[in-house]
Chains A and B, each alone.
Chain A
Amino acid sequence: MSMIDNVQNLAREWLDSKEVDAIFGLKEQDGYIAPYLFTDVGELSCLVISNQYRLCYTCRPAKENILSLMLQTEPNAKIGVVVRGCEERALIELAKRGQVDLKRIKILGVACSKEDAEECRCEKPYPGNLVLGEKVEGVSGDENVNALLSKSLPERRAFWKHEFSKCIKCYGCRNVCPMCICKDCKMEQELYTETGWLPPGIPMFHFIRFYHISDRCIGCGECEKACPVDIPLLTIFKLLQKDVKDLFDYEAGMDVEQEEPLLTTLDETPMREEVMDVGV
């Protein structure tokens, strides 16, 4: 049986047994794919999984994304959600920030294929709550990261000058980011970065997102994919993910009970002394 058959069957089981009141997933109809809430077992044959529509449940603004709207309109429903690794991590991070209620969600976690993982440069292409599929190892090492690290400070400046100068301030990176849940964003506030200019303030404009997402980034890479001018944003996020792991022994999206390290005290999440002093 193929992967999708397994997903459909399990979804059917959950619906039949009333374990969940609905299944949230992607539906293919007339060649178009869109998020859909399956309540009728009969429709489940249209349930698909597609790499193209990752994280569509959680697009901002947070209070208005599909999942959260659904949970609002159906306050008593329990919903099964078909998720990949990145999507599960997103849900966990959003739950930490009070944007979704995990108690009302049953995760139907599916593993991604090796090809999917490579396409996304994903380091962890499976959910913690893996229900279906075989776990494959994610990619390790990243060309862009290595390239940046091999550069001297002036070379890095030259590199980012080139990259950031292309920015057309479409806010695509932010809008697509499942972790960017603010209603009002500092990237649009005059107080932080002068509005009305292209490219937007370097480095302030991009710094805001790098910093805000630093300990929350789930490494989905949507920002970089969304960028119409191909700014390699994931490079910095990957580095920060590693820093957060090294400094605080913390990974985003693993455990809903685990607070982000920048929010906790040193007693709650210690910072490794040996890496406290940063040198270049």
Chain B
Amino acid sequence: MEGKEIALKIDGRQVSAKKGMTLLEAARSVGINIPTLCYHPALTPFGACRICSVEVTRKGKSRVVASCVYPVEEGLVVKTRSDRIMRERKMLLELLLARAPKAKAIQDLAHEYGVGETRFKTEDEDNLCILCGLCARVCEERMGRSAITFVGRGIDKKIDTPFHIQTEDCMACGACASVCPTGAIKLEDITKHRILPIPSEFDQGLDGRSPIYISYPQGVPNVPVIDRDKCVHFLTGECGICQEVCPAGAIDYEQEDEITEIEVGAITLCPGFDEFDPTSLFNYGYSKYPNVVTSIEFERMLSASGPFEGKLVRPSDRKPPQRIAWIQCVGSRDESLGYGYCSSVCCTYAIKEAIVAKEHVPFEVKETIFFMDIRTQGKDFDRFYERGKGEEIEFVRAKVYGVEEVDGTGNLNLKYSGDDGKPSLREFDLVVLSVGLRPSVESVALARRLGIQLNKYGFCNTGVFSPVETSKPGIFVAGAFSGPRDIPETVMQASGAAGSAAALLAPARNTLTTVKEFPPEKDITGEEPRIGVFVCHCGINIGGYVDVPQVTEYTKTLPNVVYAEDNLYTCSQDTQEKIKTAIKDHSLNRVVVASCTPRTHEPLFQETIREAGLNKYLFEMANIRDQCSWVHMHEPQKATEKAKELVAMTVAKARLKKPLETLSIPVTHSALVIGGGVAGMMSALMLAEQGFEIHLVEKDGKLGGMARRIHYTVDSGEVQAFLLDLIKKIEEHHGITVHYNAQVVNAYGYVGNFTSEVMKHGDKAVEKIVHGATIIATGAQEYKPREYLYGEAPNVLTQLELEEKIVERSSDIVNCNNVVMIQCVGSRDDERPYCSRVCCNRAIKNALMLKEIKPDMNIYVLYRDIRTYGFYEEYYQEARQKGVIFLRYDIEDKPRVSHVQDDGRSLIRIESRDPILGERVLIDADILALSVAMTPSEGAEETAMLYKVPLNEDGFFLEAHVKLRPVDFATDGVFVCGLAHAPKSIGESIAQAKAAASRAMTVLSKDTIMAEGIVASVDEDICAGCGICESVCPYGAIVVNKERKIAEVNAALCKGCGTCCAACPSGAVQQRGFTTEEISAMLEVALGV
């Protein structure tokens, strides 16, 4: 090692420093904070501001020196906060205040040192420059430019370019502005170049970023990247500051892109989508008017971590908008742009944005959404639409054809024509363009490389019945790359794709895994707590603000702490070895690490102590970085005190910690699937093909469910052929037992170990089936209408009935001249306030079929909103081209129907009001087809009770999380798919069935499931069996034993939330790892009891 160690004393502490270090560096290395203004670790010290002055004593003589330039000397005694120094700093601050009264950094420092006012005369109220010279030094030393420097002398000295001329030398890199402590540098005074902030990709360019940046705060991995196109080092070879200041030495300019070859058995494509760039739509004025933003930009504007810090203000003048308009279908449903499809998600997100914006602002905001059809076809989305209306969001059915700025105000005039057909004009403060989804250029290129087929829009082509498969075997697809879709559909498809890949690779399962071996756990029963504490400097992240050695010394005084040390990085590999050695050498039976957050680092340390033979729950963490040093950077003393307290609190908890058992539950490798429709069969088959035993329970004598009545899909899928093939596969598979005419009558158990009792209709005997996972696919049924003469007149049919007649080519069809279809029969009303999703497509499908049979047939579709989401939009357009007439009706004024006789023929007269024409329309139809709602199947409620899973208000199964866990329940090991979950198309059912099978696989592919150690436990001596715990448990994991009148915990079901523990009035229920005693000990320490 170069440089010998030099011993000196700083503020009474013995410090050892390397020769050549400055006093400032030596002090900072041990967490002693000295204020600086003209200092930068990457620049030559200058000693200009003198705020870093310290008092040094040598051989009895003391003097004041600038610590940033004064080198360490053997035996030196340094005082950084002596009375003399404090006096001097105060004086300096008074002078600085006079020079730059408005500089925040100066005000903050003055406040810290108790300097209120300056006694000196202020020359220039607006001056910010304190002549620290950082800008000039960084420009010269690191950027190699010298574009700015000190000019003038004495009181005229200032920072400027030579001859006060903007120069070519300046490359507008902004280094000077970034190092300036007071914000005095104005780049536009210096450079000749146009100053363009580097747009932050995450903030949609609404904000800037530096050339080295972290993409976004929650990115994984959360590390910075360098933008080589913008970085001065990569452009000129200069700078290199980041490399120099990174204490971890993590910056490597030599890194190059590497091509790595990975051998895999399957590929899943999820490259996502791009949003449509509305710049090309000149009439909307995007990128011309600052207050026209895209919906994605608006998302960022609403975000608390966004460019405006969550304050809803508009870009032009940062004023809160009072009137906001959303324009729907921007880059969607527009074949002239090449985007003829519907982007499916924009209606819902626009409503969401409008509702969230309302919540965001304390003032009244008038919101208007301009739309063509509101397409909230997703599960529960129609309720959301209704809620939007309830919150007084105005919905205007109109095409907006122009946006123009109102002179000088930044406000925008919207030109549109609504239902009345007349051009209208309205002024708004902010306009949001609900931009559509389109495939990214990169993903199209990727598809080409992989040789998979794309559709005409460039999205990945999938089959009607193979929604996660690409055209190439072994390559799967998920998410918006296969078409616009929302989050739950994306997640479902992703699970389905993962499952399909796993099914393909089933024989290889676990062949590449290695199991980690741990030494046996030490029994610590009866031992006094012996706690070891490791305090982390985290480089300067903690050490720079918190006096880590002081914290460590303090820790040693805490009861039961037998060992404490500080580490530069406690998480480093060598420290793990140190921890293990310390456990051995000092017989530690509890370990505390004071560093960062347990959310990221607890598992690492738990593994370390487990490797040393300690139960992993004998570990506890104090967060002295994220929740201390980083958030109290300007108050080092207080931060140090807080860190001490945080460690003491943690030690107090650690003292009480007990080893916890993680229960290992064996798994039965079979699944029960309830419902033999398409969804049930698909998931059964997928699991059976991987060798899991499957019991399929079907209430009918035949498989197929609702699909038996569907013959084709709008996108020309041959349903019956597909269905027959699927049924055949199921019946022939030796691993699948189908229980026909049967139902589940009783069920108990938990993940990995369910028992279901299945009974055949009319039979008394039950068959007990033991299974590890349960898939609920009980389907749905067609609503039997009570309205529109259904059941009274033979020529009033449901769409499914019409479909059957079409397939039969029945004479009713062939002889028919006028067909009327009414949409939303039993859907989207007060009784069933949900959209049945498939009916618009089904109606259009039948209409197109009818047109094919008899092109001159008159077909009228009476609708409220046509919801041909995604690529189905094409068929809507096709139907219109082929002359199908679409007439809108209002829910308040539903069509009226009556019998009429014409020429001895019995017709149905439909009377409706067309809101566009504003007139009544009378049609005498040969056939009236009703697009009826889909309702939950009859047995749903019973099944829900048996497996203790919830239904939503409409009677469909309610998943664990509507966005992120669309096939799971809170009850582990039970999954849902198909129509039982919500109305959906066959393809969507299949994707969800695969997802459910995939989720079931995560259980079935294991031999055992490890339960969490942090679970509830019951002190049976205290428990009165009142069942309060049982009532509050969301998982049914704690139940009062009726015989014993004592609550019992099923550790396999318990997720360890502790809600029961908080509810228990006697304290009989405790949450392991978070007992009342442990929490109490922490707060007692925090309060100094």
Contacts and interface: CB of A to CB of B under 8 A. Distances in A.
B1045 A184 contact: no
Contacts of A97: 1026-1028
B182 to A, nearest CB: 42
B1066 A186 contact: yes
Contact of A183 (B1022, B1028, B1031, B1080): B1022
Contact of B1027 (A63, A98, A186, A264): A98
Contacts of A62: 1024, 1026
Interface in A239-280: 259-260, 262-264
Contacts of A192: 1067
A5 B418 CA distance: 79
A25 to B, nearest CB: 26
Interface residues of B, number: 21
B1025 interface: yes
B1031 A212 contact: no
A98 B1022 contact: no
A182 B1063 contact: no
Contacts of B1063: 262-263
Contact of A191 (B1028, B1031, B1077): B1077
Given A98-B1040, A185-B1066, A186-B1067, A191 B1022 contact: no
B1045 A259 contact: no
A16 B175 CA distance: 100
A97 B1063 CA distance: 13
Given A186-B1066, A191-B1067, A63 B1032 contact: no
Contacts, number: 55
B162 interface: no
B818 interface: no
Contact of B1026 (A181, A184, A189): A181
Nearest to B1079: A191
Given A62-B1024, A63-B1045, A98-B1045, A182 B1080 contact: no
A99 interface: yes
A179 to B, nearest CB: 10
A26 B1080 CA distance: 46
A97 B1065 CA distance: 12
Which applies to chain B's interface (DSSP): helix, strand, loop or mixed?
Answer: loop
B1068 interface: yes
B1031 A184 contact: no
Nearest to A265: B1034
Given A191-B1067, A212-B1065, A182 B1024 contact: yes
B1040 A184 contact: no
Contacts of B1042: 98
A63 B1022 CA distance: 12
A203 B942 CA distance: 48
Given A191-B1076, A212-B1065, A181 B1024 contact: yes
A189 B1065 CA distance: 12
Contacts of A183: 1021-1024, 1066, 1068
Interface string B990-1016: 000000000000000000000000000
B1028 A184 contact: no
A181 B1028 CA distance: 12
Given A181-B1026, A185-B1066, A191-B1067, A264 B1077 contact: no
Contacts of A263: 1028, 1031-1032, 1063
B951 to A, nearest CB: 12
Nearest to B1034: A265
A185 B1021 CA distance: 12
A184 B1027 contact: no
A137 to B, nearest CB: 33
Nearest to B1031: A263
Interface string B258-281: 000000000000000000000000
A192 B1042 CA distance: 30
A35 B88 CA distance: 87
The winner among A98, A185, A186 for most chain B CB atoms within 10 A is A98
A95 B1031 CA distance: 14
Contacts of A182: 1022, 1024, 1026, 1065-1066, 1068
Interface in B1027-1052: 1027-1028, 1031-1032, 1040, 1042, 1045
A191 B1068 contact: no
Interface in A177-233: 181-186, 189, 191-192, 212
Interface string B1052-1078: 000000000001011110000000110
B1017 to A, nearest CB: 15
Contacts of A262: 1063
Contact of B1068 (A98, A184, A264): A184
A191 B1023 CA distance: 17
B1065 A98 contact: no
A255 to B, nearest CB: 15
A97 B1045 CA distance: 10
A117 to B, nearest CB: 30
A263 B1066 CA distance: 15
A209 B1066 CA distance: 11
A91 to B, nearest CB: 15
Nearest to A99: B1026
A24 B480 CA distance: 70
B387 to A, nearest CB: 14
A184 B1025 contact: no
Nearest to B1032: A263
Contacts of A212: 1065
A98 B1029 CA distance: 12
Contact of B1067 (A63, A189, A259): A189
Nearest to A183: B1024
Contacts of B1045: 63, 98
A36 to B, nearest CB: 26
A191 B1077 CA distance: 7
B931 to A, nearest CB: 31
A99 B1028 CA distance: 12
Contacts of B1022: 182-184
B1067 to A, nearest CB: 6
A186 B1042 CA distance: 24
Contact of A98 (B1026, B1066, B1067, B1080): B1026
A264 B1067 contact: no
Given A98-B1027, A98-B1045, A184 B1076 contact: no
Contacts of B1080: 191
A184 B1067 contact: yes
A262 B1066 CA distance: 16
A186 B1067 CA distance: 7
Contacts of B1026: 62, 97-99, 181-182
A182 B1021 CA distance: 11
A260 B1025 CA distance: 16
Q: Which of A185, A186, A260, A263 has the most CB of B within 10 A?
A: A263
Contacts of A186: 1065-1067
B859 to A, nearest CB: 43
30 contacts: A63-B1025, A63-B1045, A96-B1027, A97-B1026, A97-B1028, A98-B1025, A98-B1026, A98-B1027, A98-B1040, A98-B1042, A99-B1026, A181-B1024, A181-B1026, A182-B1024, A182-B1026, A182-B1065, A183-B1022, A184-B1022, A184-B1067, A184-B1068, A186-B1067, A189-B1067, A191-B1067, A212-B1065, A259-B1031, A260-B1031, A263-B1028, A263-B1031, A263-B1032, A263-B1063
4 nearest A-B residue pairs (beta carbon): A182-B1066, A263-B1031, A184-B1022, A97-B1026
Interface of B: 1021-1028, 1031-1032, 1040, 1042, 1045, 1063, 1065-1068, 1076-1077, 1080
Interface of A: 61-63, 96-99, 181-186, 189, 191-192, 212, 259-260, 262-264
Given A181-B1026, A260-B1031, 18 more contacts: A62-B1026, A63-B1024, A97-B1026, A97-B1027, A98-B1042, A98-B1045, A99-B1026, A182-B1022, A182-B1026, A182-B1066, A183-B1023, A183-B1024, A183-B1068, A184-B1021, A186-B1066, A186-B1067, A189-B1067, A259-B1031
